[in-house]
């Protein structure tokens, strides 16, 4: 199975920074991230992943004060620095297709891919919040389907730019004075609904041909885009059955578009509380839950899911959420879980605090690996995005207690097979397929 290390502030539990052993200021220091990336590389993870939002969430200074920032830097800048302190682990960063132009995105990921020796991955997000829109001249975010329509054209333009040079265009012929072989570069001359881009891309072709395209949308629009363009998909799933339906459904869609099922890997997120005994593992979760501030959590639900539960009985069931142009699938996931498990608002807060909707596993190494193996073997996952509850401790627990059991069962690598992210993931290196004009791809993927 493939494993990603999702690095996120001081941990994925909402109260991680209040854990007695955690240093809440650590994310402001580079060595903190360097040590986590080197730890994940030594454990042979496929990649480290840095998420991102282009805003600080919170409707008031008080609300912001509640939430320590999880994105203390800028992911591509951080990964470029981490690339010089690591040599094999993949480097995946989130960048918005709504708020950064395709030429910049293509260039930044090509640069990261070249300086890391082919380890870059782009988690394409459409940025689903009014809070982020407010930083880009908008009073409200663009409509959900519009953001995905833009994303479909955006990713096609980025890939065409990555193909605007062949792999070895440099002649450097001092005799003739020709530096490039003109036959090995081209303009893309894209004129579309949302973008007009001439090219070529000045960086030349990325080391992997294309950095790996990652996505994490699970709505109908999100799945349509992922089926056509994503190679790695992150998702939040609560049960093996739901995850299998999602994974196999996405691969069916990709196959219907002429792709192979192996060209698209899906990694559900999982947060793991593990210890030699179940009691100790449960105690780790309970310790963090004790620090959850419910009033603050309700503010996060409001900001994150456009779902205001501040005026309802906290010990009663949550009312249905209003329509959102934001994270549609995550809002639906939470409401469906609340209804299916008859959760009160207070219980929903706890579920949300543990892992924002991702799978939560609590138990001994055998308990945890039994579940991971069941998902993997049944086609509900090609691997997992590991959301450690706290850093570094939660990640250390996974490395020291879970990976040895996975390896004992032959479910995880002993060592890296190759040196690029594509080689770790078993993904083909795309040829300079300029023939596949951006336009064709847009027609296939536009909502
Ligand atoms: C593991 C994972 C990581 C994500 N990382 C980001 C992120 O860094 N930034 C962001 O704006 N959205 C992120 N998302 C949210 C998705 O991009 C998407 O907006 C969300 O899943 C809702 O998708 P939908 O609109 O298709 O329902 C992430 C989602 C998942 C499952």
Q: Please tell me the residue having the least CA distance from ligand 1 atom 6.
A: 51
Q: Ligand 1: which atom is nearest the Cα of residue 132?
A: 11
| pLDDT per position as a tens digit, 32-63 | 999 999 999 999 999 999 999 999 887 677 77
Domain presence at residue 321: no
Q: Which of 56, 76, 95, 125 to mutate to test the pocket of ligand 1 (most atoms within 8 A of CB)?
A: 125
When the pLDDT of each residue in the chain is averaged and rounded to a whole number, the result is 94
Structure tokens at 389: 């509850």
Q: Please tell me the residue having the least CA distance from ligand 1 atom 25.
A: 327
Q: Ligand 1: which atom is nearest the Cα of residue 222?
A: 26
| pLDDT per position as a tens digit, 318-377 | 999 999 999 999 999 999 999 999 999 999 999 999 999 999 999 999 999 999 999 999
CA–CA gap between residue 249 and residue 237 (Å, rounded): 14
Residue-range definition of the domain harbouring residue 175 = 2-278+359-441
CA–CA gap between residue 79 and residue 255 (Å, rounded): 33
Note whether 376 and 268 are within 8 A (CB).
Answer: no
CA–CA gap between residue 86 and residue 377 (Å, rounded): 31
Q: How far is the CA of 125 from the centre of ligand 1 (A)?
A: 6
Which CATH number do you get for residue 90?
3.20.20.30
Domain presence at residue 313: no
**Number of domains comprising the chain:** 1
Statement: residue 186 has pLDDT above 80: yes
Burial class of residue 143, CB neighbours in 10 A (0-12, 13-18, 19+):
exposed
Q: Please tell me the residue having the least CA distance from ligand 1 atom 15.
A: 216
Domain presence at residue 267: yes
Q: How much is the pLDDT for 433?
A: 63
CA atoms within 13 A on the CB side of 180: 15
Q: How far is the CA of 216 from the centre of ligand 1 (A)?
A: 5
Q: Please tell me the residue having the least CA distance from ligand 1 atom 1.
A: 234
Q: Which of 6, 49, 51 to mutate to test the pocket of ligand 1 (most atoms within 8 A of CB)?
A: 51
Domain presence at residue 38: yes
Residues lining ligand 1, Cβ inside 6 A: 51-53, 94, 123, 125, 127-128, 144, 216-219, 221-222, 234-236, 269, 327-330, 385
Query: Is it true that the peptide bond before 200 is cis, omega within 30 degrees of 0?
Result: yes
Domain presence at residue 318: no
* Residue 272, strand partner residues: 361
Domain presence at residue 119: yes
Domain presence at residue 246: yes
Domain presence at residue 315: no
| pLDDT per position as a tens digit, 137-157 | 999 999 999 999 999 999 999
């Amino acid at each position: 199975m493939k494993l990603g290390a999702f690095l996120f502030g001081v941990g994925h539990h909402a109260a991680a920074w209040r854990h007695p052993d955690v240093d809440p200021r650590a994310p402001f220091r580079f060595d903190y991230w360097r040590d986590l990336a080197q730890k994940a590389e030594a454990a042979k993870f496929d990649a480290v992943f840095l998420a991102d939002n282009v805003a600080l969430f919170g409707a008031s200074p008080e609300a912001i004060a509640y939430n320590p920032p999880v994105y203390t830097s800028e992911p591509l800048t951080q990964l470029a620095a981490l690339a010089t302190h690591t040599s094999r682990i993949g480097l995946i960063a989130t960048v918005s297709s709504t708020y950064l132009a395709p030429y910049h995105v293509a260039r930044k990921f090509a640069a990261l891919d070249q300086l890391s020796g082919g380890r870059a991955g782009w988690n394409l997000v459409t940025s689903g919040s009014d809070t982020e829109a407010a930083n880009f001249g908008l009073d409200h975010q663009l409509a959900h389907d519009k953001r995905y329509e833009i994303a479909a054209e955006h990713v096609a333009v980025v890939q065409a730019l990555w193909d605007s040079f062949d792999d070895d265009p440099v002649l450097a012929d001092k005799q003739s004075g020709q530096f490039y072989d003109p036959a090995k570069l081209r303009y893309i001359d894209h004129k579309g609904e949302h973008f007009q881009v001439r090219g070529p891309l000045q960086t030349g072709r990325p080391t992997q041909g294309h950095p790996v395209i990652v996505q994490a949308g699970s709505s109908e629009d999100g799945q349509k885009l992922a089926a056509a363009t994503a190679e790695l998909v992150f998702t939040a799933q609560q049960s093996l059955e739901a995850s299998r339906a999602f994974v196999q459904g996405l691969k069916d869609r990709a196959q219907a578009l002429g792709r192979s099922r192996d060209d698209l890997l899906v990694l559900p997120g999982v947060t793991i509380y593990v210890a030699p005994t179940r009691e100790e593992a449960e105690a780790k979760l309970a310790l963090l839950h004790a620090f959850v501030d419910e009033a603050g959590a309700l503010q996060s639900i409001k900001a994150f899911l456009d779902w205001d539960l501040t005026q309802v009985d906290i010990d009663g069931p949550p009312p249905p959420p209003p329509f959102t142009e934001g994270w549609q699938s995550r809002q639906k996931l939470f409401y469906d879980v609340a209804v299916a498990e008859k959760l009160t608002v207070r219980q929903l807060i706890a579920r949300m605090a543990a892992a924002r909707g991702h799978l939560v596993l609590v138990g001994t190494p055998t308990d945890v690996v039994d579940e991971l193996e069941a998902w993997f073997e049944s086609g509900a996952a090609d691997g997992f995005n590991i959301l450690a509850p706290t850093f570094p401790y939660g990640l250390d627990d996974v490395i020291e207690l879970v990976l040895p059991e996975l390896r004992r069962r032959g479910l995880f690598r002993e060592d890296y097979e190759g040196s690029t992210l594509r080689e770790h993931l078993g993904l083909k290196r795309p040829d300079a397929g300029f023939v596949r004009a951006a336009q064709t791809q847009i027609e296939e993927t536009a909502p």
